[in-house]
Chains A and B, each alone.
Chain A
Amino acid sequence: MTTTHSHLDEELQLLKTDTLNMWKLVRQQVEKGKEALIQHDKDLARQVVAVERRVNAYELKIDRDCENIFALFTPVAIDLRFVLAALKINSNLERIGDIAEGIARFVIDIDKQFDPELLKVARIVEMFDMSNAMLLDAAQAYEQEDTRLARTLFKKDEKLDEVNNEASYVITDYIKSHPDNIRESLHILSMIRKLERVGDQTKNIAEEIIFYIEAKVLKHKEPNK
């Protein structure tokens, strides 16, 4: 029996393209947040805040598309899992978009350049890069239906957690030695907390990818160490 390329396939492809576009936008938001922080570029930060509206618009559109696909095509089996996964990936991406916006607002709130030493000891740039790399890997895993790549994300998330766990000690030490920079130090700590959330969200996305391709539910299970 030959499989035909159906109308539903077209709709699913469209949904995938939209999701990947949103993904790209969200990664740009995180990347711009990092740049804004390092350069202390308030304009760039404001841009991030503005673009967040586009991320939200994407979320609404993908939500609606999923709703329509459910209503009009009543997908089953892998098609059903794909749409369910798209729906959840969508909301995870939207959260990451919110996080990027939150980071940008911290940047806007501080009037002077962040102390490079603070950024260095807090390892925040490293965190940015790690979470962005995770987002990229996840997007690739989604695009190419690569569950092996998706599984690598669980390990990477642990590294983010590690930095996050050390952060409170590091920031406490820094504040002790730089009592003038308490506010910006606390902002950095908040950003670190947020970036850790990016890792969690990406991990959720990886679980959804594996769910839709392999029909395995990995949620709420300890990943193999």
Chain B
Amino acid sequence: MVKDYVKKPKVMAKDVNLYYGDFHALKGITLSMEENTVVALIGPSGCGKSTFLRCFNRMNDLIPSTRITGYVMVDGKDINDRSMNVDELRKNIGMVFQKPNPFPKSIFENVAYGLRVNGVKEAKFIEERVERSLKQSALWEEVKDKLKKSAFELSGGQQQRLCIARALAIEPSVLLMDEPASALDPISTAKIEELIYELKNQYTIIIVTHNMQQAGRVSDKTAFFYMGELIECDDTKTMFTNPKHTRTQNYITGRFG
């Protein structure tokens, strides 16, 4: 079949409009992302990039009076369809937030949380998965001797990697990151960035960032948002060396916003 030769996009948004009450926050966004790539969403504050990110795990549902039109597809399925179970969806789409938000539990229980709420009971399985996730997020060596300690005893950077481990534990296929390093010091930031680069091999990652250099370092594709519109999306190399739109150029060169 011809269809099989075309690489299907892992995640796709088609003509997505989103309203907060009367406010038109996203205006006809169409964008697709292939598997195992990192896509960076950039743009000035309030441009809709975070809102767009939250479309993929329906986090906007939590905000009252939001309305969305168009299609958001993950693995070819419309995630806003009635038949879609939102808890199942969020299991498949991991998310890491701007501020590290570990639960007030032990390091171990933080990572195990996602498994437990999704009905996993087998202790050995949970143990293995916790270890693997902590290794994946490059935290294992630092915490393996204090898994029972409170997650709040970790540094900010470690907490954020713990949150990444927590997201990875339930084996999502897509990872959403909302400015994951903006609250961290440069060394922790560098570690998170390296981590993203490593994780790309197994996950499709969408990252919102205010840091232009970060977008350059970690992403394969970059999408520039402005006032709720997708102005330009291209290979990061192209975006950073030769953007097509003046707006994009002005933004990435720091001439406005």
Residue from A1, A4, A74 within 8 A of B213 (CB atoms):
A74
Chain B contacts for A77, CB-based, 8 A: none
Residue interface mask A161-174, B partner, CB < 8 A = 1 = 00000000000000
CA–CA, A6 and B194, complex, Å? 6
Q: Decide: B216 and A74 in contact? CB cutoff 8 A.
A: yes
Report whether B216 and A71 are in contact in the complex, using a CB–CB cutoff of 8 Å: yes
- Shortest B192–chain A CB gap in Å is 12
A1 to B197, CA, bound (A): 21
Residues of B within 8 A of A214 (CB): none
Please, which residue of chain A has its CB at the minimum distance from the CB of B196? A7
The proximity string for B residues 221-241 relative to A, scoring 1 for CB distances below 8 Å and 0 otherwise, is 000000000000000110011
A203 to B217 CA separation, bound complex (whole angstroms): 34
- Chain B residues with CB under 8 Å of A71's CB are 216, 237, 240-241
Query: Would you call B216 and A7 a contact (CB within 8 A)?
Result: no
Does chain B have a CB within 8 A of A67?
Answer: yes
Residues from 63 to 88 in A contacting B, C-beta threshold 8 Å: 67-68, 71-74
B191 and A4 within 8 A (CB): yes
Judge whether B179 is part of the interface by a CB distance below 8 angstroms: no
| Residues 17-39 of A at the B interface (beta carbon under 8 Å) | none
Interface of B is mostly: helix
Please measure, in the bound complex, the distance between the C-alpha atom of A6 and the C-alpha atom of B138, giving whole angstroms.
14
Chain A interface bracket (under 10, 10 to 19, 20 to 34, 35 or more): 10 to 19
In the complex, the chain A residue whose C-beta lies closest to that of B191 is A4
Residues 36-74 of chain A: 1 if any B CB is under 8 Å from the residue's CB, otherwise 0? 000000000000000000000000000000011001111
List B196-225 residues whose CB lies under 8 Å from chain A: 197, 213, 216-218
Which residues from A are CB-within-8-Å of B68? none
Least CB distance from B157 to A in Å reads 13
Query: Known contacts A7-B217, A8-B217; is A72 also within 8 Å of B194 by CB?
Result: no
Q: Which of B187, B191, B216 contacts A73 (CB 8 A)?
A: B216
Tell me, yes or no, whether B190 is within 8 Å of chain A by CB: yes
Measured between beta carbons, the chain B residues less than 8 angstroms from A74 are 213, 216
- The answer to whether B190 touches A68, judged by C-beta atoms less than 8 angstroms apart, is no
Q: In the bound complex, do residue B217 and residue A73 qualify as a contact, i.e. CB atoms below 8 Å apart? A: yes
22 contacts across the A-B interface (CB closer than 8 A): A4-B190, A4-B191, A4-B194, A6-B190, A6-B194, A7-B193, A7-B197, A7-B217, A68-B237, A68-B240, A71-B216, A71-B237, A71-B240, A71-B241, A72-B217, A72-B236, A72-B237, A72-B240, A73-B216, A73-B217, A74-B213, A74-B216
For the complex with contacts A4-B191, A67-B241, A68-B240, 13 further pairs of A-B residues with Cβ separation under 8 Å are A1-B187, A4-B194, A6-B190, A7-B193, A7-B218, A68-B237, A68-B241, A71-B237, A71-B240, A71-B241, A72-B236, A72-B237, A74-B213
